[in-house]
Amino acid sequence: MKDMYVEEPDRLQGKPKRTIADYVESNGFLVPRRFGSLREARESKLPILVRSEHPQEYGGVSGLLRSFDLETLSDSSDEGVLKEAVLDRLIEDKYRNPLSKKFCKLTGQDEFDFERDVSFSLWERLEGINRTMVADSSISKRYHIMTCKLGKKEKRGIYSYLLFEDGKASREFIGDLPEDLQKGLPALIELYEGVRNLPNFDSNHCPILEMQTIGDTNYFLQYHRARDFSSPAFSLNRTVDENEHEAMFVRGTTPKEGLIVDSTIVYAHSVGRDHGGWKILTNEDASFDINCERVFSELMVRKRKAQIICSNDLSYEMLKFIGGHLSRSKLFKPEVSLIDNDKHFFADGEFNQMSDRARETGEDQKIKIHIVSDGRKAYVRRV
């Protein structure tokens, strides 16, 4: 089954969030109220979220553009004026975090053309608890469920990353999910699977779905494409071989014999004089992504066979997945993603030596890594 919006991108009408929301709602699912005009939104007297829209946001880069509360923008009832206010705010952001500018430079798209395609849709801003769910790309009936509610002075926040498998929670990495939210997980999964299996989508795909929970009611917010489901052809039930170790966490599977991947540790542009010389690579086996070029990473993650996320604190790393588009992209968009301690890959001082070599030669520095994963655990060794 094919995804209609991948096959025919024009069906998104330049507004993926609004178009998908309309489609999902038409199939009987709850979605926050959307407004057909700025005047209608203002007359509702409801809190309004101006959600940024761009054609590439469905299957491309996540989190490239920000959304804003209407009350923080122009008080005009003219939609053209509002769009200028949105663009002005995005342009202001360019000086602090120039994501759209970098996107254009890396993709070769003209900035004027990019901004011409920027639009917005007007949504009722719901309170409640933000949820993100992803079906595991290799383990059937396993779901990655992220829950976030920012804390206030009088109440603690909720931050949870939970694996839910075969009808029950199998592993939780940060805090305990409150009992009422645990009881509501089957209904959340029902919403996820209901949307995932709608005719316009590929039901074999494992999308990143954003949802909002208010009491015991769940609302659909957004659909991001990630990876197709592919069940493992083997079970990794042997002990580790010499020089192997088990990664802290893995998502995704390899062939039974594993993969040997050239894994980039240092990009020459990150340490050389030409810091602005980043270019999108045609392909890349794997990367540690030890750089600050967020848009480069977003554009590369789908191309990678493996993504290595270095961390010596698994709980802290899982916390980043709850609130960050890029962190989630690194975990769910490559073929295989694993979290592991960098001490398993390079010795003390070796990273600095590689940085010096990259600066001197102008060449990216890589190491070969062997990875074998059945989707539940991964054994890794440096080759």
Tell me the per-residue pLDDT of 198-214, one tens digit each, with 9 for 90 and over: 999 999 999 999 999 99
Tell me the per-residue pLDDT of 259-311, one tens digit each, with 9 for 90 and over: 999 999 999 888 876 656 788 888 899 999 988 788 889 999 999 999 999 98
Residue 107 has pLDDT above 60, yes or no: yes
- CA separation for the pair 282, 278 (Å, rounded): 13
Show the tokens assigned to 101. 């500018």
Strands (E), the chain: 34-35, 48-53, 68-69, 119-124, 129-135, 142-149, 158-165, 168-172, 205-214, 217-228, 245-246, 249-251, 259-266, 284-287, 304-310, 336-340, 365-373, 378-382
Show the tokens assigned to 60. 């491309």
- Angle, vertex CA 354, rays to CA 350 and CA 360, nearest 5: 145
- At residue 279, the pLDDT reads 84
**The tokens 């991964």 sit on which residue?**
378
CA dihedral 25, 118, 40, 34 (to 10 degrees): 20
What residue ranges do the domains of the chain occupy? 33-124, 129-228, 245-382
- CA separation for the pair 225, 6 (Å, rounded): 10
Please identify, in words, the CATH class of the domain defined by 245-382: alpha beta
- At residue 174, the pLDDT reads 85
- At residue 95, the pLDDT reads 46
The radius of gyration computed from the CA coordinates of the chain, to the nearest angstrom, equals: 22
Residue 92 has pLDDT above 70, yes or no: no
- At residue 96, the pLDDT reads 45
Tell me the per-residue pLDDT of 111-142, one tens digit each, with 9 for 90 and over: 888 888 888 899 999 999 999 999 999 999 99
Tell me the per-residue pLDDT of 142-175, one tens digit each, with 9 for 90 and over: 999 999 987 666 667 889 999 999 888 899 998 7
- Tell me how far the alpha carbon of residue 111 is from its chain's centroid: 24
- At residue 335, the pLDDT reads 96
Per DSSP, the chain holds a count of helices (H) and strands (E) of 13, 18
Percent of the chain with pLDDT over 70: 95
Section 100-113 average pLDDT: 86
Q: Of 309, 310, 302, which is closest to residue 334 (Cα–Cα)?
A: 302
- CA separation for the pair 296, 273 (Å, rounded): 18
- CA separation for the pair 375, 171 (Å, rounded): 15
Least confident of 42-51, 65-74, 97-106, 363-372: 97-106
Q: Of 311, 287, 317, which is closest to residue 299 (Cα–Cα)?
A: 287
